[in-house]
Structure 1
Amino acid sequence: MSDESHKSPEKRTSRRARQGLAGVAALLLVGLAVAPVAAAGEQRIEARGTLVSVTPVADRDIRQVKEFLAGQDVASDPVRYGVRAYRLTYRTVDPYGRPTTATGLLTLPKGGAHRLDLVSDTHGTMVHRAYAPSAGEDFGRIPSYLNAGAGRSVAAPDYLGLGEGPGPHPYMDTASSVTASVDMLRAARTAADRLDRPLTGDVYATGFSQGGQVATALGKALAQGADRHFRLRALAPVSGPHDLEGQEMPGLYDGRVNDTSGVFYISYWLVAQNRLHPIYKAPSEVFRVPFASRVEALFDGNHEQEDVVKALAPSVKRLLTPAFYERLRHPAGPLLDAMRSADHTCDWKPGVPVRLYDGDNDTDIPIGNTRACADTLVGQGARVRVVDQGAVDHFGSLAVSAPQVVRFFDTVRG
C-alpha cells in the first residue's frame, strides 16, 4: 500500500533533495500565484467539488519531463509534450459527511487537443502530507507527468488530510477516498475551463497501491452515476490492496508481506480505522510497550516514513500484544467490519476495458490481491486482463506499469 518505501531511506532522501530544487524552481516561475475562486471569509456552504483556489506549482518542458521520469527509472517514450501542473483546493466532505476541504494536482499538457480527456490518478500510501502529489515533485507525480505528457489532463487527489487538507488522513477509508476523488474531478473540470483547456467528460481511472484500490472503487462509483458529467472509459489499477480480509491480512502471518512494510501498514491502518470503527479504547489494548505510547502520534501527517518505521517494532508479532495478534489473525466484530469496508470494490461489472497490473515479487501487496479482484470482476461477467510484470517488487510494478497504462489508454481512445 506504500509508495514511500520503494527505495532505501538514503536513496529516497537524496532524490527528494534533487527534486526539491526542481520544485523550488517551479514556484519561482513568472506569474505563479494563488488564484482564489471563493471570496475570503465567505461563510456559505458550497457544493461538493466547488473550486476554492488554483495555484501553479510546476511548468516543465518535454526535456524536463523526460529527465524527471528517467530519474525515477520510468520509461518516457509516451511523452510528447511538456506539462503544467496546478494545486487545486476544493470543497468536499470528511468521513462523517461534514464539509471540509482537500487538495489535489491538476496536470495539463503543453500542446495537443484543446478539449482534453481526463485521467484520474490515485496515489499510494503516504504518511507525510508533503509527499502528496500537489505538495512535492516526487514519485507521486509519475503517472501525472506521463499521462499529461501523452496529451491528457490528469486529476490526482491528495485525499483527505494530505497535501494542504486539514485533519488526519483516514487511511484506507474507501468511502471518503472516493468522495474526495469524485470531488477532485469536479474541481478539475472547473479549473480546466478557467485555464481554457475544457474537458471532454471521458475519464480513465488508474492508481497505484492504496490508489489501485481507490481507482477500482472510483470506477465503480462513476459507472453507477456518481456524476453525470463524467463517463468511465477504462480502468487500470496497479498493485492495489483489493482483498484485506482474504489476502493482505493473512499475508502478515505467512510471510507474503515483509516485516517492515507489515509493521508500517498495520500500525497506520489500526490508528486510522480506530477513528471510524471501535477497534480499541486505548492503544495499550493493541500495541506492546513502548509502542503503545507513541504510535498514534507517529501518524499525524508530519513524520517521515523512515522515522515512523524506526520508532516501531521490527515485526508485527513484536508490535502487537499477544491477544490482539491472535484477534487480528481471526478478525470479528468492528475489526472485521473495518476490513470489509475497504474490500468489495471489485464486485461490479465494468462496461469498459479493464487491465490489472502487478508483480510477482511484491511483498508489500502480494499479487493475490490482484488475482482476487480479477476473479471477482470476471465472476460479475466483466472482461479483465491481468498484466503480470514478473519478478518486480512493489515500486517496480509502478515503474514498469505506468507507461504501459498510458499506452493502454491510447488504445482505448483510438
Structure 2
Amino acid sequence: MVSAEKLYTLASPAAVAAELRQAGFAAGDARHGVTAHRLVYRTVDTQGRPTTASGLLVLPLNGERRLAAVSFAHGTGSHKDDSPSMRRAAFVSAPVIAHAAAGAAAVGPDYLGMGKGPGLHPWMDIPSETTASLDMLRAARSFAPRTGRTLEREVQVTGFSQGASAALALGRALQSGADPYFRLGALAPISGAYDFGGTELPALLEGRVEAKSGVLYTAYALVAFNRLHPFYDDPAEVFRAPYDRTVEALFDGAHTGEQLMRGTPGTVDELLTPHGRALLARPAGGLAEALRGTDGVCKDWAPRVPTRLYMASGDEQAVTENTDRCQEWLRDEGARVPVVDLGAVDYAGSRHLGANLAGTTAVVRWFEQLRRS
C-alpha cells in the first residue's frame, strides 16, 4: 500500500440508505453505517512493470474485528473519475457501500489508469484487471489493522458488465492459489460480455445492441485493444472521417461520457470504414489476440465454490447469449452454475444498467446468506 485517505463516514444505516437511494439503488438491506477509504497501492501494468492503482475500501461500523471480504468490479467508464474511489452516491461506488452496509469489508478496484492511477485505462484487458483487483485486496488487508480489523481468507467476488469478466478472472486466480492468503469463497458476476468476440461483436454489427451503446463499445474496443495488440497503424483504416481524427483522443481518461456521446455518431455504420467492419466481423492479428483474452474468462476452468450468473432479460448492451455461453463453458468443465434472471429491470431506460441495481441487491443478500451458513 502507498497511501490511504479517509473519504467519508455514513454513520448510520439511515445515512447509508440515503446514499444508496441517491444512486438509484435499493436501501432495504443496509444494517450498518460505514466508513469509506481510498487506497493507493502498488501493482503492475500491462507489461508487468511496476505502477500504482487506486480503489475504494468500505468498512462496516458493526464492531466486528474479523470481517469477510467482498470484491466488486465496476462497469465501463471513460473518465478517470468514473471509478469507485472517485465518486459518491454513484453507480460505481454504491455496490461497494451496499456490501459493506451488510457487514463485509468491501473493496472496489478502480482498475489501471482509472481513479488515481497513472496512464491510460486498458479497457477489457483481463490480465491487468486481475492483478489490479488482487493487489487491491492485498492493500485492503494491509490497511485493515489500522482500523482494528482483519480480513478473513475467503473472498466473495462479484462485478457488473466489464466488471463481470474481471470478477470471473479474479475468482479463477484466487481459486488457483494466486495469493498465499486469500481464497475464493463465492462468485456472482452480473451481466457480462463473456464472449465478446463470438457473441457481443456480432450483436454489435447486426444492430442487436442499442445503437449508441454499440458505437461507444465498438470505438472503445478498437482503440483500447489496438494500444496493447496493434492491428491498425492509422485510425483512418478503421474509422470514417471525421472520427478518424478524433476518436482516439476521446478515450484518454479526461473526456466524460457526455463528451463521448457528442463526439461519436449514432450508428456503427457511420463510425466504421468497410475495412473496420470487416475486421470486427472476422478478427485477425492483434484484434484476434485481444479477443482471446476477453473470451477466456469462462473457459477451461470450473469454480469449486457457490457460483451464480446474474443477467437481465432483454439486456440491450451485454446481450444475454453471453451468459448462456459462459454457463455452457463452465458446464463443459463440470460446474453446474445456475443463471439468475433478474427480469425486465430498468434504470434510466436501460435494462443493462438496471441489472446492476437489481443484481447488487440480490448478490448482497445471497453473499450474506452464505456467510451465515
Percentage of matched positions with identical amino acids: 48
- CA deviations 1:259-282 (Å, max 9, x no partner) are 101111111111111111121111
**Cα distance in 2 between the residues matched to 1:265 and 1:358:** 19
Q: Which residue number corresponds to residue 185 of structure 2? A: 233
Which of 245, 249, 266 aligns to 1:297? It is 249
* Count of aligned positions: 364
- CA deviations 1:208-240 (Å, max 9, x no partner) are 010001000110011001101101110000001
**Cα distance in 2 between the residues matched to 1:136 and 1:118:** 21
Secondary structure of 1:90 counterpart: strand
Which of 125, 143, 146 aligns to 2:98? It is 146
Which of 219, 228, 241 aligns to 1:276? It is 228
For residues 259-408 of structure 1, the aligned pairs below 5 Å read 259-347=211-299, 348-392=301-345, 393-408=351-366
Q: Say whether residues 1:81 and 2:2 are aligned partners.
A: no
**Cα distance in 2 between the residues matched to 1:196 and 1:369:** 42
Q: Which residue number corresponds to residue 410 of structure 1? A: 368
Q: Say whether residues 1:70 and 2:70 are aligned partners.
A: no
Instruction: List gaps (5 residues or longer) in structure 1.
Output: 1-50
Q: Say whether residues 1:119 and 2:84 are aligned partners.
A: no
Which of 52, 57, 60 aligns to 1:101? It is 52
2:226 and 2:286 in contact (8 A); partners too: no
Task: Tell me the CA shift for residue 193 of structure 1.
Answer: 1.6
**Cα distance in 1 between the residues matched to 2:275 and 2:26:** 47
**Matched letter for residue 114 of structure 1:** R
Task: Tell me the CA shift for residue 113 of structure 1.
Answer: 2.1
Which of 253-262 and 101-110 deviates more?
253-262
For residues 18-57 of structure 1, the aligned pairs below 5 Å read 51-57=1-7
Task: Tell me the CA shift for residue 161 of structure 1.
Answer: 0.4
Secondary structure of 1:346 counterpart: coil
Secondary structure of 2:2 counterpart: strand
**Matched letter for residue 107 of structure 1:** V
Q: Which residue number corresponds to residue 187 of structure 1? A: 139
**TM-score, structure 2 length as denominator?**
0.96
Q: Say whether residues 1:129 and 2:87 are aligned partners.
A: no
**Cα distance in 2 between the residues matched to 1:112 and 1:405:** 23
1:242 and 1:343 in contact (8 A); partners too: yes
Secondary structure of 2:81 counterpart: helix
Q: Which residue number corresponds to residue 59 of structure 1? A: 9
1:65 and 1:82 in contact (8 A); partners too: yes
Q: Which residue number corresponds to residue 7 of structure 1? A: none
**Cα distance in 1 between the residues matched to 2:113 and 2:244:** 23
**Matched letter for residue 7 of structure 2:** V
Secondary structure of 1:207 counterpart: strand
Task: Tell me the CA shift for residue 181 of structure 1.
Answer: 0.5
Q: Say whether residues 1:202 and 2:150 are aligned partners.
A: no
**Matched letter for residue 290 of structure 1:** P
**Matched letter for residue 333 of structure 2:** Q
Runs of 4+, deviation exceeding 4 Å = none
Q: Which residue number corresponds to residue 176 of structure 1? A: 128
**Matched letter for residue 370 of structure 2:** V
- CA deviations 1:298-347 (Å, max 9, x no partner) are 11101111211211111111101112212211212221111111111112
**Matched letter for residue 387 of structure 1:** V
Task: Tell me the CA shift for residue 73 of structure 1.
Answer: 3.0
Task: Tell me the CA shift for residue 57 of structure 1.
Answer: 0.7
1:235 and 1:353 in contact (8 A); partners too: yes
**Cα distance in 2 between the residues matched to 1:380 and 1:207:** 22
Task: Tell me the CA shift for residue 255 of structure 1.
Answer: 2.2
Task: Tell me the CA shift for residue 71 of structure 1.
Answer: 2.4
- CA deviations 1:103-148 (Å, max 9, x no partner) are 0000000114210010011000010111210011111112111110
**Cα distance in 1 between the residues matched to 2:53 and 2:25:** 29
**Cα distance in 2 between the residues matched to 1:376 and 1:78:** 33
Task: Tell me the CA shift for residue 283 of structure 1.
Answer: 0.6
Secondary structure of 2:92 counterpart: helix
Q: Which residue number corresponds to residue 348 of structure 2? A: none
Which of 70-79 and 87-96 deviates more?
70-79
Secondary structure of 1:78 counterpart: coil
**Matched letter for residue 4 of structure 2:** V
What is the aligned-residue RMSD (CA, Å)? Answer: 1.0
Secondary structure of 1:296 counterpart: helix
2:16 and 2:33 in contact (8 A); partners too: yes
Secondary structure of 2:229 counterpart: coil
**Matched letter for residue 52 of structure 1:** V
**Matched letter for residue 32 of structure 2:** Y
1:59 and 1:85 in contact (8 A); partners too: yes
**Cα distance in 2 between the residues matched to 1:313 and 1:412:** 46
